[in-house]
A and B are shown apart, each in its own frame.
Chain A
């Protein structure tokens, strides 16, 4: 179980809202979890979970924030699958991206020419 917070303020959103990348009907969410295990189970990566100081949590015990994420479903954000796609124009991001975070699995499974034969495909 988790509680979803919808972040509508620019404060604390870094480049997200401050640089005007959000359109009117876009929202950034952040989920609150009762404990680290629940957050880790949902996101798979403990590095995405941030402890909420006890005095700030509703229960007085340590709860955890999950990572910020763009809301996806119409039920949460007012998006619908027919209006959302393409409603945002492409744009240059405001922060310096990191690269190289995809592709490692291909090497592990021989899905690139780094394996013994260049014929190996990622497909099936």
Chain B
């Protein structure tokens, strides 16, 4: 694994926009193709294998959390427990997720967290990154390839969801005025439509509730049978309509059981179930149980918010609005630095299969919403 400088395409903005990736320059510099990461085929195989193993471990952890009712440790409100149990017992299917890994190509990758509910950076990892490879392949070498089957895998997963679970008509929702969420959602809708799924969009603020019919409805007052939400479960539940979810038989993607995995409380539970596993970092709900340098993470934080790194007597903090729900403590591992840039690897799972990676760089060891997206290739 190495960081490589490459020439930007003359028309890179247009190429990104052609792929539907309009927010390439959000907050100044987000998509950065002046550099890329080069992997060997063996390294990619290692990442793929690690991703599959982590997913299998997470599924076992979800079963453990639900069977042992360890919801309180994850600060999951009691009113959500039945939803979680029912969605698990009824095998409500998942579409996707993204593991964030610390790895420089040596030794085993280490799991930082699992974005199991509302993973983003999807359109850039899927189509924008692939277009980049197609455009610059001649400069990278004849065997240049990319760990990226995201687009095809998503279409196949939607086909399966339609055929096996009847998800032929899915409403897609996110907050109405977020360009980034809207871009990711439009891309996901496109993959669903290509799979033959009807995929109307509705802003989450516009979703209606009919008490008389025990149904959520769209702007035409049509029942929403299945909802894909790029909106965290804990936010849904905390909102005014949250308590109505359980009254309906509306299916939701990601399903409610993903609340057990989209929670940093997963990390200490994984460590309990798989102590000293090479893909894991020691983690605990209790500070004193993690010796040495450590990272303090809110149970529900997103995009690095409120993460604190305690290292060598220094503290690095990210601002945010999380933490009231509690924290976990994870042993510190150095985030690989290339030319002064800290990089994390987002490794995607679609259904239950690894489907590609996307890399994020930052000037600090905390990957945040504004961390740059860097394309990759392997040969």
Contact B90 A98 (CB under 8 A): no
Q: Name which residue of chain B comes closest to A104, CB basis.
A: B239
> Which of A87, A93, A122 touches B175 (beta carbons < 8 Å)?
A122
Interface residues on A, range: 35 or more
Min Cβ gap B62→A in Å is: 17
Contact of B321 among A42, A91, A109 (CB under 8 A): A109
Chain A, residues 88-116, CB within 8 Å of chain B (1/0): the string is: 10111111111111111110111111100
**Given A70-B249, A104-B240, A81 and B90 contact (CB-CB distance below 8 Å):** yes
Q: Please indicate the chain B residues that have their CB under 8 angstroms from the CB of A105 in the complex.
A: 232, 234-236, 238-239
Q: Considering the chains assembled together, what is the distance between the CA atoms of A9 and B166 in angstroms?
A: 28
Is A60 at the interface (CB under 8 A from chain B)?
no
Count of chain B residues with a beta carbon within 8 Å of a chain A beta carbon: 81
Q: B209 to chain A: which residues have CB within 8 Å?
A: 97-99, 101
Residues of chain B lying within 8 A (CB to CB) of residue A70: 214, 247-249
Chain A contacts of B181 at CB under 8 A?
111, 121-123
A119 touches B247 (CB 8 A): no
A52 within 8 A of B: no
**A67 to B243 CA separation, bound complex (whole angstroms):** 10
Pick from A16, A48, A72, A98: contact of B208, CB below 8 A: A98
Q: Does A118 contact B (CB under 8 A)?
A: yes
Report which of B23, B91, B213 forms a contact with A81, defined as CB distance below 8 A.
Answer: B91
Closest residue of chain B to A69 (Cβ to Cβ) is B247
Docked CA distance A45–B27 (Å): 40
Chain B residues, Cβ within 8 Å of A94: 210, 212-213
- B366 in the interface, Cβ–Cβ < 8 Å? no
Residues of B within 8 A of A67 (CB): 247
A-B contact count (CB 8 A): 221
For residue A78, CB closer than 8 A to chain B, the reply is no
Residue of B23, B91, B249, B302 touching A124 (CB-CB under 8 A)? B302
Inter-chain contacts of B243 with A (CB < 8 A) = 43-45, 48
Output the least CB separation between A10 and chain B (Å): 13
Given A70-B247, A118-B26, A121-B181, the answer on whether A103 and B78 have CB atoms closer than 8 Å is no
A65 → chain B closest CB, angstroms: 13
Question: Given the complex of chains A and B, what is the CA–CA distance between A99 and B221 in angstroms?
Answer: 11
From B119, B213, B232, B234, give the contact of A16 (CB < 8 A).
B213
Closest to B86 in A: A72
Q: Which residue of B lies closest to A109 (CB)?
A: B321
Q: Which residues of A contact B178 (CB under 8 A)?
A: 106, 111-113, 118, 120-122
Among residues of B, the one whose C-beta sits closest to the C-beta of A80 is B90
CB of A53 within 8 A of chain B? Answer: no
Is there contact, CB below 8 Å, between A93 and B239?
A: no
Q: Which residue of A lies closest to B82 (CB)?
A: A42
B27:A119 contact, CB within 8 angstroms: yes
B357 on interface, CB distance cutoff 8 Å:
no
Interface flags for B219-246 (1: CB within 8 Å of A; 0: not) read 0111101100011101111111111101
- Asked if residues A93 and B166 are in contact (CB atoms below 8 Å), the reply is no
Q: Is B191's beta carbon under 8 Å from chain A?
A: no
Interface pair B321/A85, CB less than 8 Å apart: no
Identify the closest chain A residue to B219 (Cβ).
Answer: A99
Does A21 lie at the interface of the complex (its beta carbon under 8 Å from any beta carbon of B)?
yes
Q: Give the chain A neighbours of B221 by CB distance below 8 A.
A: 92-93, 97
Q: Which 4 A-B pairs have the closest CB atoms?
A: A86-B166, A44-B79, A123-B120, A97-B208
Q: Beyond the given A101-B240, A102-B242, could you list 4 further A-B residue pairs with CB under 8 A, ordered by the A residue number?
A: A68-B247, A109-B302, A122-B118, A124-B118
Q: Can you list 26 pairs linking A and B with CB atoms under 8 Å apart?
A: A15-B213, A21-B213, A48-B243, A68-B214, A72-B86, A72-B249, A73-B90, A87-B166, A93-B215, A95-B212, A95-B213, A99-B206, A106-B235, A109-B321, A112-B177, A112-B178, A113-B177, A113-B179, A118-B179, A119-B27, A119-B179, A121-B181, A121-B369, A122-B302, A124-B262, A124-B303
